[in-house]
Amino acid sequence: MKKSEIISVRVDANIKHKLEAESEMKSMTLNTLIGQIITKHVSWDRFAEDIGFVFLTKPFLRAILSHVPEKEMTNIAVTVCRGAMKDATIYMYGEITVKSFIKSLDSWLAASHIPFRHIEEENVDKYVIQHELGEVFSKYLITVINVVLNEFKFCASSQDLTDQSVSFVISKIQL
């Protein structure tokens, strides 16, 4: 279990009431909600602007992606986005390894409010990502993940891509 410490923070009364209302709506303690907010800030938000990430609405992104040919999306994923994910990982964790890439992938998905499950069992990382952004996004996402993993002789195997989701297992490439 990770060690925790107590901190005290003074906030405007109106902000406190809003946080209490949100924690009640989410059926969690105020402490848990504030802990999640701080964790998200430390793991993603403080880096997002520096590494060039922007927030877009899902309908806007889905509309744009529906007009991008698959070949062009693959080219963008392999060139531009591969480099951006590697640069983001290095900036956030000081190195690019399979482990640090997985951590940055988790942080990006969580910060983007893309529902996902990262299941770790016996040195196996399984993902189920429920993005709801269309088939082109599924192909884009799996392509970016694969091109980064391939550099470490890993890949996203057991892939299942739909227009709403992506699932895969991170595996060592068998030579």
For residue 114, the SS3 value is coil
The kind and range of the H/E element at 138 are: helix 135-150
Query: Is the pLDDT assigned to residue 1 strictly greater than 80?
Result: no
Q: Which two tokens stand for residue 122?
A: 């016996």
If one counts every other C-beta atom within 10 angstroms of the C-beta of residue 113, the result is: 8
pLDDT in tens, 71-120: 898 999 898 888 889 999 999 999 999 999 999 999 989 888 899 999 99
* Predicted local distance difference test score (pLDDT) of residue 31: 93
CATH architecture of 58-172: Alpha-Beta Complex (3.90)
- Backbone φ, ψ for residue 149 (5° rounding): -60, -35
Question: Cα separations (Å) of 75 from 9, 151, 154?
Answer: 47, 17, 20
Mean pLDDT rounded to a whole number for the chain: 90
Counting every residue written for the chain, the total comes to: 175
For residue 174, the SS3 value is coil
- Identify whether the C-beta of residue 88 lies closer than 8 Å to the C-beta of residue 51: yes
- Identify whether the C-beta of residue 149 lies closer than 8 Å to the C-beta of residue 98: yes
pTM of the model: 0.78
Q: What are the boundaries of each domain within the chain?
A: 13-48, 58-172
* Predicted local distance difference test score (pLDDT) of residue 151: 92
Percent share of the chain, pLDDT over 90: 55
**Amino acid at residue number 107:** S
Report the C-alpha gap between 172 and 124 in whole angstroms.
10
**Can you list the pairs that 92-98 forms with residues at least 24 positions away whose Cβ atoms lie under 8 Å?**
92/43, 92/47, 92/51, 97/152, 98/149, 98/152, 98/154, 98/170
